[in-house]
Each structure stands twice: as C-alpha cells, then as structure tokens.
Chain A
C-alpha cells in the first residue's frame, strides 16, 4: 500500500528530534542537519508507491544517514568542520560557552572512535534506537550492535575523562 501524507508527517514528528540529535553528532552543523532530514523525507515521499509503512522509520533513518555520509564525504567536515552556534541556543552566554566546549570535546572524542563503533554509539545514545533497530538501519547483526555499543561507550567515557584531566 502506498504511503500517505498523514503517515509521512506523523513519522516526521516522531523522528525529527532523534534524527537531529544523531545527525548533529555527525555533521556538527544545525542547518545541514535540517537539510538532511528534509531531503530524506522528500526522497521517501518520492518513492511512496513502493514504501511499506511498517518499515517507514527504518527507511527514513537509512536514507538520512546515507545523505549525511555523502555530505561528510563531500566536504570532509569530520576533521575540519566548525561547530556552529545554533546548537547552543541558550540566551546565557556562559551556558552557550560551556555547551560549545562540551560539544567540541564530544566531537573530538567521537572522531577518535572507529567509524563502525561511532555509528552504533551515536544511534544508540542520541537517536534512542534499540539494538534491533540499529541492526536494521546499519545492516549488521543485532549481536554485533550490542558488543560494539558496549565497547564504544567504554572508550568514549575513557576519552572524555582523559580530555577532562588534560585541562
């Protein structure tokens, strides 16, 4: 059955925040995240005649992550991109600065993780996806997701602790 507009918009409301949180930890640019989310939903809509509504969420996740990967490849932002101020939208400048610093630490720590670990960790921690959902989105076994997630979390905590101790 073809996908309806109501289902698409409901999916957007459901996934916008988790998608944004995951994509921000990939792209580190709020406008890029918004664009990727928008483009992913438009692409899914263009294929609506062949979309199974039961697999809609997984399809949106996969499409958005592929678009984000393309964007990263294109501008090689992972190492050289700047964190934009949109993510730190507090009116308190001290809170803005603290949040910016925290995000920079996180970006540097994530950049040191192998990509396979990083993908699983970001989807789990910032997207709120379960192991089975991550397995479906990344096309890997659920057991692998569990072990990568555990290892990635331990390494990330270690890296963040090291950075904190260095300051």
Chain B
C-alpha cells in the first residue's frame, strides 16, 4: 500500500462480538414466545367469544321470529272467539277467564272459520 492510500487501513474489530450476540439470542429464546403468544391468545379468546355470540343469536332467530308473529297476532285478535285474517292463529273457547287458548297454524295454511 502506498503512502497515498495509507488511509485505507483495515481495522480488526475487538474480539468477543459473536459470543456477546449468542448470549443475547440465548437469553431471548425463553422470553420472546411469551411476548408473542399473549396477543395471540387474547385475539383467539375474543374471536371465540364473538363466534359463540353470533351462533347463539342465529340459533334463536327462528324462535324470536315466531314469538314476534304470535305477539302481533294476539295483539290484533278480538277478545271473543274469532278467526284472524292473517291466518296464523285463532282463539278457542276457554272455561277459565284467565286462560286464553289459541290454535296456531303456519302462515301458509289459512285457518278456516269454525263451522
């Protein structure tokens, strides 16, 4: 190397750098997974709760729709024995004043007037 290019001197790094890195990686091996699994567990739990809620809601949907239809039919029904025009129910005679007996039928099946 000429004097002109003496500035290009190659330096050797101090010893022990790789050993230091290996110690650091070893010390992280145990704690890194804990840091990463905590958010994963939280996300999984939230997803499970949401899935349960949605499934439960969908499972009860037909029952809720039926109850709504029944309430609508009863609300519009006259107090005496009658046939509801929408065809879902008709009230039958009851021997007790505090009990109402209602005959139900699917909406597709018209309820015929009692003879």
Question: Once the chains bind, are B7 and A9 in contact (CB under 8 Å)?
Answer: no
Chain B residues near A68 (CB, 8 Å)?
none
Question: Once the chains bind, are B21 and A38 in contact (CB under 8 Å)?
Answer: yes
Question: A87's contact among B4, B11, B24, B32, by CB below 8 Å, is which?
Answer: B11
Chain B residues near A12 (CB, 8 Å)?
17-18, 21
The SS class assigned to the B binding surface is helix
Question: Once the chains bind, are A34 and B14 in contact (CB under 8 Å)?
Answer: yes
C-alpha spacing A125/B42, complex, angstroms: 50
Q: How large is the interface on A (under 10, 10 to 19, 20 to 34, 35 or more residues)?
A: 20 to 34
C-alpha spacing A13/B21, complex, angstroms: 11
Minimum CB–CB distance from A103 to chain B (whole Å) comes to: 8
B80 within 8 A of A: no
Interface string of B1-17 (1 = CB under 8 A from A): 00010111111111001
The SS class assigned to the A binding surface is helix
Minimum CB–CB distance from B38 to chain A (whole Å) comes to: 16
Chain A residues near B4 (CB, 8 Å)?
157, 160-161
8 Å CB interface, A35-58 against B: 37-38, 41-42, 45-46
Minimum CB–CB distance from A6 to chain B (whole Å) comes to: 11
Interface string of A104-118 (1 = CB under 8 A from B): 011001000000000
Question: Once the chains bind, are B11 and A102 in contact (CB under 8 Å)?
Answer: no
Question: Once the chains bind, are B14 and A102 in contact (CB under 8 Å)?
Answer: no
B28 within 8 A of A: yes
Task: Offer 28 A-B interface pairs, CB within 8 angstroms, sorted by A.
Answer: A5-B25, A8-B25, A12-B17, A12-B21, A16-B18, A17-B12, A17-B13, A24-B11, A34-B13, A34-B20, A37-B17, A38-B20, A42-B24, A42-B28, A45-B25, A45-B28, A46-B28, A46-B32, A86-B14, A89-B12, A102-B6, A102-B9, A103-B9, A125-B8, A126-B10, A157-B4, A160-B7, A161-B4
Pick the 4 closest A-B CB pairs, nearest first: A20-B13, A106-B7, A41-B21, A16-B13
| B residues whose Cβ falls under 8 Å from a Cβ of A | 4, 6-14, 17-18, 20-22, 24-25, 28, 32
